[in-house]
Amino acid sequence: MNRFKIAILISIGLNSGCPIEARATENGFSAYPQGVNTILNGLVPQPGQTWIQNYSTYYSAKSFKDSNGNNLIPGFDADLAVESIRVMHTWDWQIGQFSVSSTIVLPFIHADIDTAFGGTDNTEIGDVSVGPMYLGWSNPDKTFFAYAGLEFYLPSKTEVSNKVFSISPNLHLTWLPDPQLELSGTIGTEFHLKNEDTDYQSGSLSYMDWAVNYRAFQSLPQLAIGVQGYAAKQFSDDKIGGTTVSDGFRQQAFAIGPQLVYAIGNRGGGVVLKWQHEFDVENRPEGDKFWFQFQVPIGN
């Protein structure tokens, strides 16, 4: 999973002008877990309600691409299993017409990465993310929902950590043009502080998750079938010691795949199964993600 910086464990220098360890720890990572938000993105809990969300993710990549989409690292093979718990709570007070919600995410990661030069295997806690204040809004007809705020990524400094502080302003949207059809999206940008241990400054990037979900069976309205995916594009260069790395080592990736959504009850519970296949990747691993997600509402 790109959020947890697969390249952190690769013991190979990509540019002879840079120290091997510094170059190996920074390339191709993203703080935001791209592809996570693909169902009712713009909704938040009701005031006083809490959502317990669980994300089980398996990511497999057999190549690490360069700026031209060619294989960069010989023998690259990465397998990551991630178990993340997210808690989202909406408070009983509002700011004008806007609801106020807070989130925290705790990921546990198993990373098994091999190259022609060696490999490593680690199971540890990843970087914790906190969203202290999200402002939510919906139209009177309850056909359009949105919330926005800042997410802070706090480095755990373990072997599966990004090891830098990151911040991401983001916006989540859902439109229900009719009772059977859902169009959802999440857009955001993330910025990273410099890794003081390696003097490496990762560039900033923008990302988007998207989904189209359709309840096709009137006899089974709880079930939705969807197509979903994500896109990511880095727009500033990676630097080490203030000098641009190679050609900037700007990453990009696109992914698409199917998903099944099954709602449980009428208070926001449900489960999701989905697959995302990456393509047109540059300067990061290229692979496939498989997700099992569920949500349990508490209160109200």
pLDDT at 23: 36
**Cα–Cα distance, 52 to 295 (Å, whole number):** 6
Q: Cα 158 to the chain's mean position, in Å?
A: 19
245, two tokens: 């790395």
**Count of the separate structural domains present in the chain:** 1
Task: Provide the whole-model pTM.
Answer: 0.90
Does residue 134 come out as left (phi exceeding 0), alpha (psi in the -120 to 50 range) or beta?
beta
Integer CA distances (angstroms), 78 to 6, 42, 121, 182, 273, in order:
7, 32, 10, 34, 22
- Distance separating alpha carbons of residues 232 and 245, to the nearest angstrom: 20
Signed CA dihedral, 191, 114, 83, 233: sign only: positive
Please give the chain's pLDDT, 300 residues, in tens: 343 344 433 333 333 333 323 333 365 789 999 999 999 999 999 999 999 999 999 999 999 999 999 999 999 999 999 999 999 999 999 999 999 999 999 999 999 999 999 999 999 999 999 999 999 999 999 999 999 999 999 999 999 999 999 999 999 999 999 999 999 999 999 999 999 889 999 999 999 999 999 999 999 999 999 999 999 999 999 999 999 998 999 999 999 999 999 999 888 899 999 999 999 999 999 999 999 999 999 997
CATH of the domain at 253: 2.40.128.130
- Of 200, 249, 286, nearest to 14 (Cα)? 249
Range of the domain at 15: 2-24+32-298
Within 10 angstroms of residue 218's Cβ, the number of other Cβ atoms is 7
pLDDT of residue 28: 72
User: Both tokens of residue 22?
Assistant: 């510094």
C-beta separation of 173 from 42 below 8 A: yes
pLDDT at res. 184: 99
Please give the pLDDT value at position 13.
37
| Measured CA distances, 228 to 85, 89, 142, 161 (Å) | 22, 26, 23, 27
- Structure token pair of residue 107: 């990921």
Q: In what helix (H) or strand (E) does residue 84 lie, and over which residues does it extend?
A: strand 77-95
Residues 278, 288: contact at Cβ < 8 Å? yes
Element (H, E) at 20: helix 20-24
Name the burial class of residue 262, with classes exposed (0-12), middle (13-18) and buried (19+) by CB atoms within 10 angstroms of its CB.
middle
